[in-house]
Amino acid sequence: MTPGPRVVAITVNWNRPEETLECIRSLRAGGVQGLETVVVDNGSDPRSVESIRLSAPEARIIVLGRNEGYVRGANAGLREAMKSDFTHFLLINNDAFGEPGFVAQLLEGLARHSSAGIVGPKILYPDRRRIWFAGGEFNRTWGYSTHPLMDEEDRGTGEERKVDFVTGCVMLVRREGFEEVGLFDEDFEMYAEDLDLCLRAEEKGFESWYVPSAVAFHKVSSSAGIGGSNIMTPFRARRYARNMLLLIAKRMRGLRYLTCLLGQLIISLPYYSGLIAIQRSRGALGAYLGGVVEGMKFNVGGRARVEA
């Protein structure tokens, strides 16, 4: 008799125990028997850890001595979980939570597509009306990514489909995916690490799929920006610019590398500059330009690109 899937959920906490506990409560109702939870605490106040420990005694807590950033925190949880015989790994932001049964829906979606290694749900804003994520697209000619349907009214489940990437806000990954592809690339620190993982997975034959029957909610930018909004704060702006240029340096080759690099300068730079101006986000334009300079150093400075 073939044993059923063993699922572990991994989330990263940084001084937001209430949100982390809401996330854990939704995992309890995720529809998967025996689901285990790992919370990586990124150098929070000890009271934050104790609050989670008391209210969610079933969660395994990994306490890091300082804030290592999202990607290193997630990888710390993954490395610990990989020591056990889990078959599936659910990465979920601590400011995200799912509808009852959402983890089971993701598992079922993954089972329907034998070539899939990564799946993600439809993600709505907490108002439960507007879409935040409905599958990600990456333009391989010009090197920019998009969230189609973002901010549009949710009009139903939509179609299950293959996508270029799944957001790391909520993603379910087969064990074989991490074993063959590796964990998140820690050079990214935060932002674009999910796109990079999905592109690397694709190179190894693992597709990414959007499963809208699974529904989650995201309190956007609770830790890295202004909660509940997509405003380009200086923190986000710098990393958006830097990390897309880093991704191009690592993943693109030949003519595609040149056009993607050009696309960041003639498409993304004007777009985000205009967005920042409209949003009147103080300090964000300078931060974005600083990120462009830092990202270009990976390219012009001869940063070694990943070999195929």
Find the mean pLDDT for residues 50-63.
96
Structure tokens at 90: 């659910």
Tokens of 59: 């969660």
Residue 259 CB neighbours (<10 A):
16
pLDDT grade, residue 228 (50/70/90)? very low
Average pLDDT on 188-200 reads 95
What pTM did the predictor assign? 0.92
Model pLDDT for residues 15-30, shown as the tens digit of each residue? 999 999 999 999 999 9
Q: State yes or no: pLDDT of 229 exceeds 60.
A: no
In the predicted model, is pLDDT for residue 155 greater than 80? yes
Taking the C-alpha atoms of residue 226 and residue 219, their distance in angstroms, rounded to an integer, is 10
Q: Which residues pair with 118 in a beta bridge?
A: 173, 208
CB–CB of 154/124 below 8 Å?
A: yes
**First-to-last CA distance in the chain?**
39
pLDDT category of residue 179 using cuts at 50, 70 and 90: very high
User: What whole-number distance in Å separates Cα of residue 91 and Cα of residue 170?
Assistant: 6
Helices within the chain (DSSP H only): 17-28, 46-55, 70-82, 102-112, 175-181, 193-203, 234-251, 254-263, 269-279, 284-300
Phi, psi (5° rounding) for residue 112?
-75, -15
Q: Is 158 a residue whose pLDDT tops 90?
A: no
Q: Is the Cβ–Cβ distance between 12 and 94 less than 8 Å?
A: yes
Domain range list for the chain: 7-218, 234-300
2 has pLDDT over 80: no
Place of tokens 């979606």: 109
Give the pLDDT of residue 298: 84
Q: Does domain 7-218 have CATH number 3.90.550.60?
A: yes
1-25 average pLDDT score: 91
- Mean confidence (pLDDT) of the chain: 92
- Kindly tell me if the per-residue pLDDT of 308 is higher than 90: no
The residue that leads in pLDDT, 297 or 145, is 145
Among the ranges given (100-104, 228-232, 244-248, 268-272), the one the predictor scored with the smallest mean pLDDT: 228-232
Segment 24-38 mean pLDDT = 97
Q: Which is more confident, 189 or 13?
A: 13
Residue 1 predicted with pLDDT over 70: no
Q: Which of 216, 210, 212, 22 is nearest to 126 (CA)?
A: 216
Confidence of residue 305 (pLDDT cuts 50, 70, 90): very low
72: pLDDT confidence band, cut at 50, 70 and 90?
very high
How would residue 220 be classed by pLDDT, with cut points 50, 70 and 90?
A: confident
Q: Is the pLDDT of residue 67 over 80?
A: yes
